[in-house]
């Protein structure tokens, strides 16, 4: 198939509703980062050195250079992802249509497509683009769907439109289809500037060429401005590039038409060997890898660039014409309720389509029910001998152990599932929130609405199966079930909170046990609370397990006469049943509020 001549690429992706063309211009950009923060004499490493350049409407600019040359840093500056702070100094000017702009302005008119395509794995390609269209557009449902159809058609995604995107747990579409789906999601709002970090990495050369040609056509047919980084393109891809910018150790060493580089190299005393890919040739030289080509003099130097290229670039920058940039309102396109409904619908799909979630949860329920019923079979029916204190103590210990195990089971089941699944979904949330798809509150509420039935059903089913098999007090069933539901809810809050609190999913997974251990230690189950060191006993007041055991024990043993032995008092639980339940409700609510606050803070930090 001749990709370059494929007719679909020559048609505009969609009607341009609003002419808001973008020109980016950067002048004398310098970036220095602190190298040795702990030493008295601070040393800074220069990452970008006096970089100037531009890209304008209808152009694609490919930023090239060896690893560590500063490509990602330049993209981060253009997309306003990094700012000057104590550990990095940024100087220079970046203008969008001759005006300063903020990260917020950038996301209103532009799209930044990261190297890793962050998409929800349990949605199909069509559903993914539809979700973005429904949330980001204000049009009627029919108009939104027309746009989705047009994007799917023009990105050649028809064949895979009903296949899951896939990922860690679900098998899905190919890398190239994934990249195009990600581009499709961004095209929904018709951004006039698209910045992509290595859109071709990990793709075979055919698919990579397809992506590059697609970007070129977006620039050509829709007057979009496209900037992307690319590593070692094949000769076919290189020949299809429009403008390139070469970086070497943070310095611009070439900028201009990709085809002009061969004459430029000749001016610098370099001849491209026959049948050699220009990109391979100059990348080898820039990377100082002179083994393959015999080079006598250094051709890609700053002096040569300043002598031969820079004057022309400066002239072009002076002559750039751009209209006043219209920054659309960055307000959300839809109201809270509509957003919540869509997020809830997607969470529901994610729930029943994720085999690891659904099967894992059913499996957990069966295993837990079997383990509890068989380990503590008819325990409650085998009442102790009231004249034997050892017998009473042993029996009470077994009952408290049983109740503790059921409670922990319900708590951990929800919390641990979240520890595994939430970090995967969190990056999707952060990306969507960052592009103003929905409010943090809508996401939080939508997710909670879908989790709530499971939070209620799992402990209810578990206790329905086990309660009478282990012979617990019939009158205490409802309270026991209610406390278990509260424990599930608390586990949900704590799981979300740890997932939102820490920057990396790995750290949050590692920190969860650290948070849990003190709560378990101060539950009163392992050690009588009066015996623990005074300075740290305040943790008991935050431990949901303490209130759980308090409520469970009163519920089971209240009014029972074991020859003067009162298990509740002996084990040091002093709160009344309803106070314990009240505090559990408070903790479940508190952890959810904290989770929301952390999620909002994390989203704000990223934006
Ligand atoms: N915070 C930092 N502290 C110290 N050095 C940094 C920091 N950030 C980036 N660097 C260094 O700056 C240089 C440029 O990094 P950058 O990620 O921009 O390169 P790159 O060209 O995108 O590389 P690659 O192609 O491998 O992604 C690298 O040498 C990197 O180690």
The DSSP-derived string for 186-209 is HHTT--SEEEESSTTTTS-HHHHH
> Ligand 1 centre from 45 Cα, in Å?
10
Kindly state the DSSP code that residue 101 receives in the 8-state scheme: -
Protein residue with least CA distance to atom 30, ligand 1: 68
Residue 293 lies in a domain: yes
The tokens describing 49, both together, are 């050195």
Which of 258, 290, 318 marks a domain boundary?
318
Residue 404 has pLDDT above 50, yes or no: yes
- Higher model confidence: residue 364 or residue 291? 364
Residues 364 and 486 both lie in one domain: yes
Residue 195 lies in a domain: yes
How many angstroms separate the CA atoms of 6 and 73, rounded? 35
Residues 291 and 346 both lie in one domain: no
Compute the average pLDDT of residues 239-260.
90
Ligand 1 site-directed mutation target among 32, 68, 89, 253, most atoms within 8 Å of CB: 68
The DSSP-derived string for 142-198 is HHHHHHHHHHHHHTT-TTTTTSB---SSS----HHHHHHHHHHHHHTT--SEEEESS
Residues 457 and 517 both lie in one domain: yes
Residue 224 lies in a domain: yes
Residue 299 has pLDDT above 80, yes or no: no
Contact 21, 322 (CB under 8 A): yes
Residues 306 and 343 both lie in one domain: no
- The domain that contains 211 carries what CATH number? 3.40.50.300
> Ligand 1 centre from 386 Cα, in Å?
74
Cα 501 to Cα 62, 146, 288, 407, distances in angstroms: 37, 40, 44, 25
Residue 326 lies in a domain: no
Residues 50-70: tens digit of each pLDDT: 999 999 999 999 999 988 899
- The strand pair at 88-96 and 225-229 is best described as unpaired
Residues 502 and 400 both lie in one domain: yes
Residues 524 and 437 both lie in one domain: yes
Helix (H), strand (E) at residue 446: helix 440-466
If one counts the domains in the chain, the total is: 2
Q: Long-range contacts for 349-352 (Cβ within 8 Å, ≥24 apart)?
A: 349/122, 349/123, 349/127, 350/120, 350/122, 350/123, 350/425, 351/450, 351/454
Task: Please report the pLDDT score of residue 492 as a whole number.
Answer: 95
Q: Mention every residue, 6+ apart, whose C-beta is less than 8 A from residue 375.
A: 402
Residue 63 lies in a domain: yes
Which of 318, 351, 366 marks a domain boundary?
318
Per-residue confidence at 195, pLDDT binned at 50, 70, 90?
A: very high
3 state SS of 409: helix
> Ligand 1 centre from 47 Cα, in Å?
7
Residue 327 lies in a domain: no
Residues 375 and 307 both lie in one domain: no
Residues 492-505: tens digit of each pLDDT: 999 999 988 887 77
3 state SS of 33: strand
The DSSP-derived string for 300-365 is S-HHHIIIIIHHHHHHHHHT---PPP-----S-SS-HHHHHHHHHHHHHHHHHH-HHHHHHHHHHH
Q: Write out the residue range of the structural domain in which residue 505 sits.
A: 336-606
Task: Please report the pLDDT score of residue 505 as a whole number.
Answer: 74
> Ligand 1 centre from 51 Cα, in Å?
15
Contact 516, 523 (CB under 8 A): no
Residue 15 lies in a domain: no
Residues 600 and 459 both lie in one domain: yes
Residue 470 has pLDDT above 90, yes or no: yes
Residues 271 and 401 both lie in one domain: no
How many angstroms separate the CA atoms of 268 and 114, rounded? 35
Compute the average pLDDT of residues 138-157.
93
> Ligand 1 centre from 67 Cα, in Å?
8
Residue 73 has pLDDT above 70, yes or no: yes
- Ligand 1, residue 250: give the atom nearest the CA: 14
Residues 264 and 303 both lie in one domain: yes
Residues 78 and 157 both lie in one domain: yes
Residue 126 has pLDDT above 80, yes or no: yes
- The strand pair at 193-196 and 24-34 is best described as unpaired
Pocket of ligand 1 (CB under 6 A): 33, 45, 47, 65, 67-73
How many angstroms separate the CA atoms of 165 and 174, rounded? 8
Which of 318, 352, 381 marks a domain boundary?
318
Residue 4 lies in a domain: no
Residues 225 and 340 both lie in one domain: no
Task: Please report the pLDDT score of residue 297 as a whole number.
Answer: 58
Q: What percent of the chain has pLDDT over 70?
A: 92
For 567, half-sphere exposure in the C-beta direction (CA atoms, 13 angstrom radius) is 28
Protein residue with least CA distance to atom 18, ligand 1: 70
Lowest-pLDDT choice from 96-110, 352-366, 574-588 = 352-366
């Amino acid at each position: 198939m001749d990709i370059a001549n494929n007719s679909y690429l020559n048609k505009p992706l969609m009607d341009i509703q609003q002419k808001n063309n973008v020109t980016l211009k950067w002048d004398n950009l310098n970036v220095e980062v602190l190298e040795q923060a702990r030493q008295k004499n601070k040393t800074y490493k220069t990452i970008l050195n006096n970089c100037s350049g531009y890209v304008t409407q209808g152009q694609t600019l490919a930023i090239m250079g060896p690893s560590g040359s500063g490509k990602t840093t330049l993209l981060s500056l253009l997309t306003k992802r990094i700012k000057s702070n104590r550990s990095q100094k940024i100087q220079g000017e970046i203008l969008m249509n001759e005006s300063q702009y903020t990260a917020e302005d950038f996301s209103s008119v532009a799209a930044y497509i990261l190297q890793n395509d962050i998409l929800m794995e349990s949605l199909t390609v069509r559903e993914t683009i539809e979700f973005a269209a429904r949330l980001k557009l204000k049009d009627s449902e029919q108009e939104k769907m027309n746009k989705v159809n047009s994007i799917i058609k023009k990105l050649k995604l028809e064949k895979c439109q009903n296949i899951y995107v896939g990922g860690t747990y679900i098998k899905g579409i190919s890398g190239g289809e994934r990249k195009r789906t990600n581009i499709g999601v961004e095209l929904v709002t018709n951004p006039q500037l698209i910045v992509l970090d290595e859109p071709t990495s990990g793709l075979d050369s055919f698919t990579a060429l397809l992506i590059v040609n697609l970007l070129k056509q977006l620039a050509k047919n829709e007057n979009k401005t496209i900037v992307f980084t690319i590593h070692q393109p094949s000769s076919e891809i290189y020949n299809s590039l429009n403008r390139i910018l070469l970086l070497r150790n943070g310095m611009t060493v070439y900028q201009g038409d990709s085809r002009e580089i061969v004459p430029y190299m000749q001016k610098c005393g370099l001849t491209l060997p026959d049948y050699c890919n220009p990109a391979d040739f100059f990348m080898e030289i820039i990377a100082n890898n002179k083994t393959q080509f015999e080079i006598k003099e250094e051709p890609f130097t700053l002096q040569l660039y300043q002598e031969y290229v820079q004057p022309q670039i400066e002239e072009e920058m002076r002559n750039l014409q751009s209209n006043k940039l219209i920054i659309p309102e960055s307000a959300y396109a839809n109201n809270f309720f509509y957003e919540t409904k869509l997020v809830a619908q997607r969470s529901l799909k994610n729930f029943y389509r994720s085999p690891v979630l659904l099967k894992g949860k059913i499996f957990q329920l069966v295993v837990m029910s079997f383990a509890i019923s068989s380990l503590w079979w008819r325990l409650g029916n085998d009442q102790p001998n009231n004249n034997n204190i050892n017998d009473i103590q042993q029996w009470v210990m077994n009952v408290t152990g049983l109740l503790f195990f059921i409670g922990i089971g319900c708590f951990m089941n929800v919390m641990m599932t979240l520890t595994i699944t939430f970090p995967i979904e969190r990056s999707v949330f952060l990306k969507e929130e960052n592009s103003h798809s929905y409010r943090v509150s809508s996401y939080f509420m939508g997710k909670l609405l879908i989790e709530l039935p499971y939070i209620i059903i799992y402990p209810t089913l578990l206790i329905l199966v086990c309660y009478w098999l282990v012979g617990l007090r019939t009158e205490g069933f409802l309270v026991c079930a209610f406390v278990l539901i509260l424990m599930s809810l608390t586990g949900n809050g704590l799981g979300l909170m740890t997932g939102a609190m820490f920057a990396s999913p790995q750290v949050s997974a590692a920190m969860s046990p650290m948070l849990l251990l003190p709560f378990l230690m101060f539950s009163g189950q392992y050690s009588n609370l009066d015996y623990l060191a005074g300075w740290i006993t305040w943790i008991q007041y935050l431990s949901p397990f303490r209130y759980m055991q308090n409520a469970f024990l009163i519920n089971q043993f209240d009014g029972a006469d074991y020859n003067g032995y009162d298990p509740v008092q002996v084990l040091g639980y002093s709160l009344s049943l309803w106070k314990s339940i009240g505090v559990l409700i408070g903790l479940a609510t508190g952890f959810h509020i904290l989770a929301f606050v952390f999620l909002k803070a994390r989203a704000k930090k990223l934006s």
